[in-house]
Structure 1
Amino acid sequence: MSEDQKKQLEQQLWNIANTLRGKMNADEFRDYILGFIFYKYLSEKMEMFANDILQQDNIRFSEITNKTANASEYLEAIKEEALEKLGYFLKPDELFSAVALRGNSGDDESVDQSSANFILGDLQKILTNIQLSTMGTESEEDFDNLFEDMDLNSTKLGKTPDARNSIIAKVLAHLDKIDFELKNTELDVLGDAYEYLIGQFASGAGKKAGEFYTPQEVSKILAKIVTTGKHKLKSVYDPTCGSGSLLLRVAREVKDVGNFYGQEMNRTTYNLARMNMILHGVHYRKFDIKQEDTLERPQHGNQTFEAIVANPPFSAEWSANPLFSSDDRFSQYGRLAPGSKADFAFVQHMIHHLAENGIMAIVLPHGVLFRGGAELHIRKYLIEQKNFLDAVIGLPANIFYGTSIPTCILVFKKCRENPDDILFIDASKGFEKVKNQNMLREEHIDKIVQTFRDRTAIEKYSYNAPLNEIAENEYNLNIPRYVDTFEEEEEIDIQAVMLEIKQLEAQRTELDKEIDVYLKELGLVF
């Protein structure tokens, strides 16, 4: 698929998404359109899988009806295989294309509901059946309540059942015409389109966007950092995984990822993450995403992971319960992160889960670099006692949705190749302004990543700070202390400036005389 075709598809999907907008805000109609796309994906995957099984019998899955000889035997055999391999099952009359056809008239151009069948009840039942088909199987948790945010009876879709039926049938008809090229295993057309839509919704969701989406350019930097020197990963973990996009971005940087792990507090976003995994072809056995508060109720025990990435909510509140002082994640530090700022609590949690050969990269607000109190105590322990901090990277301001504050990336390793210094990179000026947002381009990303990997010292950009220098600075990691970006201003010629001022004063005196003449002619006194 060419770049133009890709953009055309993305625009086509965005136009279909806007069909649903009505009175809904971005994050509400997002759940419907992404849910319908996911249903289409599951249907097409099911149909391809079943057709392969039925090939020797010269039968197509979509053609099986109650009148087909041995229909029940065929369906039972396919269901057993599908639950094992795909993790779910759909009957022929539950396929997306079949429902879209029932919901619309025979005329491809006409989607007027007055001549169409009522499909709302069927569709709601089918979405429930997808989940029910997994009950008692290995994939049950991964499909549990996946479609719970798609309330087809919501008045936001239309005041009456007929109005709701009309808009949904229209959306299904438009989606049914799009070929996501699932048969072409070399392409991830649907996955890319899904990521595009998530990004579009994020740009329109204001502060809420940070709950589920990390801008792709930042994701790229994190992913490239944690995969440095690696071609395969046993595991990757994101403790605040949102829509799962950051986990999937890491997978693009290596040949293979053994398993994906994540935790997400928001139920709707948790559903989105599981859909995103499945839709990108990640087998249900290869991902383990949990829904809970990561700091208060961690779900992955004492497991360790080879790569860890995160873009946690900046300076969020947490309980800082004194009971956590005996929690393995925090006990060795002697202090808990303050209840008003959980930034270092996330750092401590992630370090606890970092494998000895692993790399961890986390996006945080600049305050973590210099704030005092408990945060200084934790910072000092991580550097002086553990020597885990490998790099500090300053990013430009205004690159995240919903906040304009400047941010930084902290990189940690338990086994550092360069244990005598910490690399500081000031990439705050490397961006391109696009409308109201600052954007990192490929050249900006490449410079950050290459500087990190080579640990190159570049004047006014990067510096390897010896540990004793950091100690002298009392573990204040504020980047300007280490990377001098001061630009000398051009020398001012005082004599020339004074001469110019005198000339301007002389001109003003002459103008005052001219004005005075005009005022006298008009009989005015100034």
Structure 2
Amino acid sequence: MAEMENSKDLISVLWNGADILRSKMDANEYKDYLLGIVFYKYLSDSFLIRVYDLLNDDKPENLKDALEAYKEALADESAEELKEQIKLECHYVIEPELTYTFFAEMAKNNSFNREQLQKAFNNIEQSDPLFADLFTDIDLYSNRLGAGDQKQSDTISSLIKEIDKADLLNTDADVLGNAYEYLIGQFASETGKKAGEFYTPQAVSKILTRIAIAGQEKRRGLSVYDPCMGSGSLLLNAKKYASEPEYIRYYGQELMTSTYNLARMNMFLHGITPENQKLRNGDTLDEDWPTGEETDFNMVLMNPPYSAKWSAAAGFLQDERFSDYGVLAPKSKADYAFLLHGLYHLKSNGTMAIVLPHGVLFRGAAEGKIREKLLRSGNIYAVIGLPANLFYNTSIPTCIIVLKKHRDGRDVLFIDASKKFEKGKRQNAMTDEHIDAVIDLYKNRETVDKESFLASFEDIEKNDFNLNIPRYVDNFEKEEEVDLNALLTDMRKTDEELENVHQDFVSLLKELTSSDENIMASLNDLIGRIER
């Protein structure tokens, strides 16, 4: 419960920080400032706590005590030794006057200048390749922060004071990581369309992860790969379901630099050690990665951009990811290029789960050929239809395709989860009950009326390899049978009531009088028409 409270407090402090910027710029911009400065506080606080622990083998009462102890230690002749040890552990060293704690004091005394924060960012970026260019999206000199040097510094100063209320000293990594995730989700909601670039709704993340990890929960050294990782939240879900989360190795690639930086921060805030995270900024389809010593993974999770354009250059027919299929995904729709990339990087006993638009289930031409080859090879294990309007960047209904490398059967489980949602103002949402119901259907792998259908290879062949879910799961609700006698009785009753009202109305009209002959003539004419 305390953890929940702690998380709530943290979220409200961070959200108040967002309020300082909300009137100046849109969510897609201010998320970089807020999340970047929170991350710098995390680095600074973690550093001071670790220094204090090295010096006193204890946790400090507060960060000011830790900063004082650090300053004293730097005056000692063993200062270099301390710096070396802390650099080895944290991968960075922060000078006392560049700690967040020092900045917060300066901000309270109205003597903070953003130059100091810029210097602090630069020092972190240069301390280790892990942090290279990490803060490039945070423009501390932007006119959006205010007109002129003083106003811009004041805005950053207000933000530093507000975020300083977040007590990271007594917050464990999961609470902080979850608060960060929550913020990313809130920004996704405010940003609307652009959010698709960096966020997969938690319900979809949970389904993808629980499916891909099923049967592998106890594996030590589990490897998980997301070639379109966004802010990394889909990758990080694996932690929640693994019995030895500290041994998971995370591999992720992201095209957008600002989103890639967000993912790097997200990893650290969830307490993932540098040696367990291998993230890269690059174009997944244009250049295959990873190609080094580890190239296939226990779990592949993907929520790629839907029906994106790609080059589909002829040279890709020689690329090992696509060469077995004889054709390439069309230029206008890279969906199958992403799917085949993920499948190529899957271990022979692993599981892959990918979200795509329904078109991949039935479109013909090159996509039809690729789909047929996958089905003949037994690679497609399950197809799950999701509710419409779950995502921030599209209202179209999507589906999850589950793939395996080598298995004996070629049957496919179809699940129709399109009605498992709660209606929301902007987005629909799936509750934990909905998610559990989908996972149960997936694990039981059998036909359930109106919910799922286990199709044999022959069933699929008869359907010309079309995987459109309504062909297999009939969720048509029969209308209630109508009782004709009851209906006739109701109609007679209604007729009688109408007749009574009609007669009452005529009686009322007959009571009306006027000394004007024309009016009386018109009134009698009207009565005559009604009585006809």
Question: Structures share a fold, TM > 0.5?
Answer: yes
Q: Which residue of 2 aligns with 1:95?
A: 99
Match of 2:343 among 326, 334, 351: 351
Mapped to 2, the partners of 1:466 and 1:322 lie a distance apart of 35
Mapped to 1, the partners of 2:477 and 2:67 lie a distance apart of 69
Counterpart residue identity of residue 62, structure 1: L
Cα displacement (A) at 1:226? 1.0
Cα displacement (A) at 1:373? 1.1
Mapped to 2, the partners of 1:12 and 1:58 lie a distance apart of 23
Whether the 8 Å contact between 2:113 and 2:153 is mirrored in structure 1 is yes
Matched, 1:62 2:67: yes
Whether the 8 Å contact between 1:461 and 1:485 is mirrored in structure 2 is yes
Which segments of 5 or more consecutive residues in structure 2 lack a partner in the other structure? 513-518, 527-532
Q: Which residue of 2 aligns with 1:39?
A: 40
SS at 1:438 equivalent: coil
Match of 1:171 among 154, 159, 178: 159
Mapped to 1, the partners of 2:410 and 2:315 lie a distance apart of 35
Whether the 8 Å contact between 1:224 and 1:253 is mirrored in structure 2 is yes
SS at 1:188 equivalent: helix
Whether the 8 Å contact between 1:87 and 1:284 is mirrored in structure 2 is no
Whether the 8 Å contact between 2:6 and 2:175 is mirrored in structure 1 is no
Counterpart residue identity of residue 40, structure 1: K
- Residue range with higher mean Cα deviation, 249-258 or 361-370: 249-258
Distance 1:284 1:70, change over 3 A: closer
Counterpart residue identity of residue 101, structure 1: E
Question: What's the RMSD between the two structures over aligned residues?
Answer: 2.4
SS at 1:432 equivalent: coil
Mapped to 2, the partners of 1:499 and 1:76 lie a distance apart of 97
SS at 2:298 equivalent: strand
Q: Which residue of 1 aligns with 2:147?
A: 159
Mapped to 2, the partners of 1:450 and 1:501 lie a distance apart of 47
Distance 1:80 1:423, change over 3 A: same
Match of 1:81 among 82, 85, 93: 85
Cα displacement (A) at 1:501? 4.0
Matched, 1:458 2:448: yes
SS at 2:354 equivalent: strand
Whether the 8 Å contact between 1:64 and 1:92 is mirrored in structure 2 is no
Mapped to 1, the partners of 2:397 and 2:264 lie a distance apart of 30
Match of 1:321 among 310, 313, 326: 313
Alignment of 1:361-380 (within 5 A): 361-380=353-372
Cα displacement (A) at 1:65? 7.9
Alignment of 1:7-406 (within 5 A): 7-55=8-56, 62-63=67-68, 71=75, 73-105=77-109, 116-134=110-128, 140=129, 142-181=130-169, 188-230=174-216, 231-232=218-219, 233-254=221-242, 255-256=244-245, 257-301=247-291, 303-384=295-376, 386-406=377-397
Mapped to 1, the partners of 2:118 and 2:73 lie a distance apart of 29
Spell out, residue by residue over 1:18-75, the C-alpha distance to the aligned partner (whole angstroms, 9 max, x if none).
1122220011110001001100000011112222222279997622688x58638544
Cα displacement (A) at 1:77? 2.4
Mapped to 1, the partners of 2:78 and 2:191 lie a distance apart of 46
Cα displacement (A) at 1:404? 1.5
Spell out, residue by residue over 1:450-492, the C-alpha distance to the aligned partner (whole angstroms, 9 max, x if none).
2212214322111211111011111111111111212221112
Whether the 8 Å contact between 2:49 and 2:169 is mirrored in structure 1 is no
Counterpart residue identity of residue 167, structure 1: T
Q: Which residue of 2 aligns with 1:108?
A: none
Mapped to 1, the partners of 2:127 and 2:415 lie a distance apart of 51
SS at 1:15 equivalent: helix
Mapped to 2, the partners of 1:65 and 1:424 lie a distance apart of 60
Counterpart residue identity of residue 373, structure 2: Y
Mapped to 2, the partners of 1:420 and 1:57 lie a distance apart of 59
- Report the number of matched residues: 505
Distance 1:73 1:188, change over 3 A: farther
Larger radius of gyration: 2
Whether the 8 Å contact between 1:86 and 1:283 is mirrored in structure 2 is no
Mapped to 1, the partners of 2:339 and 2:14 lie a distance apart of 38
Counterpart residue identity of residue 234, structure 1: L
Distance 1:122 1:74, change over 3 A: farther
- Residue range with higher mean Cα deviation, 290-299 or 341-350: 290-299
SS at 1:295 equivalent: coil
SS at 2:465 equivalent: coil
Cα displacement (A) at 1:91? 1.4
Counterpart residue identity of residue 55, structure 1: N
Counterpart residue identity of residue 89, structure 1: V
Cα displacement (A) at 1:438? 1.4
Q: Which residue of 1 aligns with 2:515?
A: none
Matched-pair identity in %: 46
- Using structure 1 for the length normalisation, give the TM-score: 0.90
